[in-house]
């Protein structure tokens, strides 16, 4: 069987896409971090947040990254209990299943609008024409910031994600330092932008998520502007890169497997299965960070306290101990317990939105273009970071 990762020219650092299976847990002296690759081991880490903390900044050696609490407070992803639970409950009240479900008609209308523009041009580059703008416009409208500013966000976020190397805690390099500096500068732009909007909402409330966050109370206390801004930053970044990757990857997978494309085209009820399998087969976020709070045994290895773990959910999603034929794209897998959205207390808050956007947009795309296929003359282009798997350019032929 041809390995599609090679056919597509995916970054060779993404070894798990090429059939390689490292031992489940391994220390890497080059990065100073413990890598967790195996499915049961990853599930154990994500299910025990007391031992495997999300507050990784606490153990990053001084001088590698600035330890600025102002940057992390309100960032759900990096918080532990009990603070995480309180904030998650609060934001879940603003980001309810109903809020998400009500977005369906808007997602459909936007998809049609974006596709109309592509049809007029007679060709399509999936990412620029649909997969990028759709989720960004949706999250911007939900938050209540002008979606017409999206080129600005794109510029900041793209620069933040430019670093294509492997981050190391022990070997500082000029390249890594430069990348961190650039990322921090871009984040500052985003923070200043969102602070201006959050401050304005405090004065003049509107019907948007930013206002709900400004007004929300946990145990009688409001979130600080800084917490609101850091959480909104997470949402805006998550809204940018993740669903974009999901849409691109799913089209790419279906195109490479014409028998599955035909089945999905014939019966759209098969689309959610294809989306879930795409999340397993090409997991957009390859790694999550954790830090041990105590010495712990994992996968036969003894890991000391206060060590950083790279938790490779993308590699775990290809573990043959969990998935039969892991390197085969099979949308009929049932059950499909992939962990592309994580697992446990930090399970992706945006998963219902990402799934809805994926289902609505791909359904419309397939309906409007019965002959849609990936341009055989132009290879897809992938995001260079080894920690992310997603196309950043996918030229399509419409007929
Ligand atoms: C958390 C993946 C879309 C917001 C996570 C985590 C993963 C993930 C793996 C767990 C992080 C951890 O355990 O450290 C994805 C993927 C997406 C997606 C693959 C799309 C295909 C979104 C969207 C939003 C979002 C669209 C918001 C609009 C969040 C938030 C968290 C999170 C706020 C933190 C939850 C917590 O810490 O309690 N996501 N995400 N995600 N995601 Fe997503």
SS3 per residue for 93-110: HHCCHHHHHCCHHHHHHH
In a domain, 64, yes or no: no
Q: Could you tell me the distance, in angstroms and rounded to a whole number, from the CA of residue 351 to the centre of ligand 1? A: 7
In a domain, 65, yes or no: no
In a domain, 374, yes or no: yes
Question: Within a 10 A sphere around the Cβ of 297, how many other Cβ atoms?
Answer: 9
Tell me the C-alpha distance between 284 and 8, whole Å. Answer: 16
Residue 14 to residues 54, 90, 385, 386, Cα–Cα distance (Å) = 24, 37, 9, 6
Averaged pLDDT, 164-175: 70
- Which atom of ligand 1 is closest in space to residue 245's alpha carbon? 21
Q: Could you tell me the distance, in angstroms and rounded to a whole number, from the CA of residue 350 to the centre of ligand 1? A: 6
Phi, psi of 162 (to 5 degrees): -70, -30
What are the structure tokens assigned to 293, written together?
């709070």
pLDDT on residue 165:
63
pLDDT on residue 253:
96
In a domain, 198, yes or no: yes
In a domain, 212, yes or no: yes
Which band of pLDDT confidence, cut at 50, 70 and 90, is reported for residue 1?
A: very low
Phi, psi of 53 (to 5 degrees): -75, 150
Averaged pLDDT, 282-307: 97
Domain at 41, CATH number: 1.10.630.10
* Total tally of structural domains belonging to the chain: 1
Which band of pLDDT confidence, cut at 50, 70 and 90, is reported for residue 150?
A: confident
- Ligand 1, pocket-test mutation among 348, 349, 353, 383, most atoms within 8 A of CB: 348
In a domain, 50, yes or no: yes
2 pLDDT exceeds 60?
Answer: no
Domain carrying residue 214: 4-59+70-397
**Cβ–ligand 1 contact at 77 (below 6 Å):** yes
In a domain, 210, yes or no: yes
């Amino acid at each position: 069987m041809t390995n599609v990762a090679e056919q597509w020219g995916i970054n060779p650092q993404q070894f798990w896409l090429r059939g390689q299976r490292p031992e489940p847990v391994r220390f890497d002296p080059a990065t100073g971090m413990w890598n967790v690759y195996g499915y049961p081991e990853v599930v154990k880490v994500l299910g025990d947040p007391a031992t495997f903390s999300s507050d990784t900044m606490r153990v990053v050696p001084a001088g590698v990254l600035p330890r600025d609490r102002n940057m992390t407070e309100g960032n759900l992803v990096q918080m532990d209990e009990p603070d995480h639970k309180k904030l998650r409950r609060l934001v879940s009240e603003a980001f309810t299943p109903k809020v998400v479900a009500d977005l369906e008609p808007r997602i459909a209308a936007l998809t049609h609008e974006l596709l109309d523009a592509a049809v007029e041009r007679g060709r399509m580059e999936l990412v620029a024409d649909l997969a990028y703008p759709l989720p960004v416009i949706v999250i911007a409208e939900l938050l209540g910031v002008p979606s017409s500013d999206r080129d600005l966000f794109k510029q900041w976020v793209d620069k933040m994600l430019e670093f294509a190397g492997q981050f190391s805690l022990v070997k500082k390099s000029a390249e890594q330092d430069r990348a961190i500096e650039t990322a921090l500068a871009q984040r500052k732009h985003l923070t200043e932008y969102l602070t201006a909007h959050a401050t304005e909402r405090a004065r003049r409330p509107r019907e948007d998520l930013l206002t709900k966050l400004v007004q929300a109370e946990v145990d009688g206390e409001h979130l600080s502007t800084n917490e609101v801004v850091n959480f909104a930053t997470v949402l805006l970044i998550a809204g940018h890169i993740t669903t974009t990757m999901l849409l691109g990857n799913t089209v790419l997978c279906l195109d490479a497997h014409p028998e599955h494309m035909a089945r999905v085209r014939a019966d759209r009820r098969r689309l959610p299965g294809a989306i879930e399998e795409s999340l397993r087969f090409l997991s957009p976020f390859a790694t999550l960070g954790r830090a041990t709070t105590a010495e712990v045994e994992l996968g036969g290895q003894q890991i000391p306290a206060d060590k950083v773990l790279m938790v490779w959910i993308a590699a775990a999603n290809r573990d043959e101990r969990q998935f039969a034929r892991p390197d085969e794209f099979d949308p009929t897998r049932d059950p499909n317990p992939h962990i592309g959205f994580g697992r446990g207390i930090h399970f992706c808050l945006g998963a219902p939105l990402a799934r809805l956007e994926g289902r609505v947009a791909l359904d419309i795309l397939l309906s409007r273009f019965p002959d849609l296929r990936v341009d055989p003359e132009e290879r897809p282009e992938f995001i260079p970071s080894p920690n992310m798997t997603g196309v950043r350019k996918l030229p399509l032929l419409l007929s």
